Amino acid sequence: MAALFTLWALLRREIALAWAGGVATPLGFFLGAATLVPLAVGAERALLERIGPPLLLVFAGLAAIMTFERLLQADLEDGSIEQWALAPWPMEVFAAVKAIAAVIAIGGPITLTAAPLAIALQTPPAAAPVVVLAVGLALAAFYGFGLLGAALTAGVKRGGLLLALLVLPFMTPPLLFAAAAISAAAAGQSSVPPLTLLSACVLFAWTLGPFGAGAALRAHSES
Amino acid sequence: MIPVEIALDGLCVARGGRVLFPPITSRISAGAFVAVRGANGAGKSSLLRAMAGLLRPEAGAVQLLRSGQRLGADDARLSCLLLSHEDALKPQRSPRQEAQYWALALGGAPARVEPALSAMDLMAHADMVCQHLSAGQKRRAALMRLALTDRPVWLLDEPIANVDGAGRTRLESLVEGHRARGGIVLAALHEAWAVRDAAVIALGAA
């Protein structure tokens, strides 16, 4: 019980830091890019209906990638990771808390704005709940892999490009399943099978992410 | 706090393939203050990091002994509190918020936050964000971590850098209180710092 209270307190602090550290940039990028789509491709209904949701997912993924580099950077520079290595909690817990906070503080607003944007891009309003679910789960998977990438490239000068290259292949399956879920919902079919596979991606990302990141950060603090 | 002893057994640390100092064999008993001295690059910080288990020794070993029994790696890790060059403070958080965080993260009691703040005379600035604090005030906020937990071994990397006379006096009283309870303090120092019964580990070239 006391442990849960402590974890909640640690998480609240990381959410506050992630929120203050710049939800505006990725959210602004996501909103801006989505608004530009109909201007660039024209207001043809059938075309927008087809390419709108996949583009939203791509923009959400890119917005997430923008934030990966900062995920652990401040903690590395200010010596926090060194302190975590001497804490009674395993490094995995600190890493996971960091990424969960990013999913909530940065992924949350992007997920919520995805629904009105999808409707604006001619997705049937009935599919909006599936859009929210698919974008939210996809972002959760992205951040699981992003955490691993951020930990592996911690301490690499200008490691952002390397990080993106590392993480992109892992981001492909959740992206595919999320897009399949939305197009199924828009066509009036069941979106359960792709959403199930998407959830499996989330589970995979979150078993790989925190443990890989914990090991990488331990190795980093011991060098 | 249960006091420990430290046994350095031919400890040797290397950075970038270069051995920093000749092997150190020493025994540090409970209540000791050890000043680690040496020129820039002599390996003071690396020695402290090796003692915290953050750096694998090139040769030899650091052992923590509790009433003669050797502590396992996890117990040894949780017996050490490291204050490195980095203050581990977030610029957008206040010293009080950071104290609350580190008390929880390092396994200290939240009830010790306020005493820790007043121990380093930070009450007047406790709710200012850290980016508005001076270098010395930030250092005091980092030193406050010493009062948050009950770890027997304090490893301080230049603790008095940027800290004014009043701050040093407060740190001295923290250090003396810690020693009186059987704690060990190792401090890497450049400047003279008058602490009673201080032992010295002088690091020369290997």
- Count of A-B CB contacts under 8 Å: 64
A127 burial (CB, 10 Å; 0-12 / 13-18 / 19+) is: buried
B82 vs A6: CB contact, 8 Å cut-off?
no
Cβ atoms < 10 Å from Cβ of A105? 20
The residue among B90, B157, B158 with the most chain A CBs within 10 A of its CB, best to mutate, is B90
Of A6, A77, A222, the CB nearest to B55: A222
pLDDT at site A16:
92
C-alpha–C-alpha distance, residues B43 and A65, integer Å: 38
Q: Which domain holds residue B36?
A: 1-79+153-160+189-206
pLDDT bracket for residue A197 (50, 70, 90): very high
- pLDDT per residue over A65-88, tens digit each? 999 988 998 898 888 999 999 999
C-alpha–C-alpha distance, residues A78 and B89, integer Å: 7
**Chain A residues with CB-CB distance to B56 below 8 A:** 222
pLDDT bracket for residue B205 (50, 70, 90): low
B97 vs A74: CB contact, 8 Å cut-off?
no
Residue B37 lies in a domain: yes
**Chain B residues with CB-CB distance to A74 below 8 A:** 90
pLDDT bracket for residue B180 (50, 70, 90): very high
Residue B202 lies in a domain: yes
Of B80, B93, B104, the CB nearest to A10: B104
Give me the CATH number covering residue B38: 3.40.50.300
Residue B11 lies in a domain: yes
Q: Give yes or no for residue A33 having a pLDDT over 90.
A: yes
- Mean pLDDT over A207-220 rounds to 92
A9 vs B77: CB contact, 8 Å cut-off?
no
**Chain B residues with CB-CB distance to A222 below 8 A:** 54-56
CA-nearest residue to A217 within chain B is B54
CA-nearest residue to A87 within chain B is B106
- Mean pLDDT over A142-155 rounds to 92
**Helix/strand/coil percentages in chain B, nearest 5:** 35, 25, 40
C-alpha–C-alpha distance, residues A63 and A138, integer Å: 12
A82 vs B106: CB contact, 8 Å cut-off?
no
Total domains present in chain B? 1
Collapsed DSSP state (helix, strand, coil) of residue B13: coil
A79 vs B88: CB contact, 8 Å cut-off?
yes
A83 vs B78: CB contact, 8 Å cut-off?
no
Q: Give the Å distances, CA to CA, from A93 to A33, A210, B55, B146.
A: 34, 7, 22, 23
CA distance B196 to chain A (A): 29
B105 vs A74: CB contact, 8 Å cut-off?
no
Residue B61 lies in a domain: yes
B166 touches chain A (CB under 8 A): no
Q: Give yes or no for residue B187 having a pLDDT over 80.
A: yes
Residue B9 lies in a domain: yes
Residue B146 lies in a domain: no
Residue B194 lies in a domain: yes
Summary mean pLDDT of chain A: 91
C-alpha–C-alpha distance, residues A22 and A67, integer Å: 9
Residue B109 lies in a domain: no
User: Which of A27-36, A47-56, B110-119 has maximum average pLDDT?
Assistant: A27-36
**Chain B residues with CB-CB distance to A17 below 8 A:** 90, 92-93
Segment 1-60 of chain B within 8 Å of chain A by CB: 52-56
Whether the CB-CB separation of B153 and B80 falls below 8 Å is answered with: yes
CA distance A174 to chain B (A): 33
- pLDDT per residue over B126-160, tens digit each? 888 888 988 888 998 999 999 898 899 999 998 88
C-alpha–C-alpha distance, residues A85 and B73, integer Å: 12
Please count the CA atoms within 13 angstroms of the CA of A181 that sit on its side-chain side: 26
Of A82, A222, A223, the CB nearest to B84: A82
CA distance A186 to chain B (A): 43
Q: Give yes or no for residue B206 having a pLDDT over 70.
A: no
Whether the CB-CB separation of A37 and A52 falls below 8 Å is answered with: yes
Please count the CA atoms within 13 angstroms of the CA of A69 that sit on its side-chain side: 15
B88 vs A74: CB contact, 8 Å cut-off?
no
A88 vs B78: CB contact, 8 Å cut-off?
yes
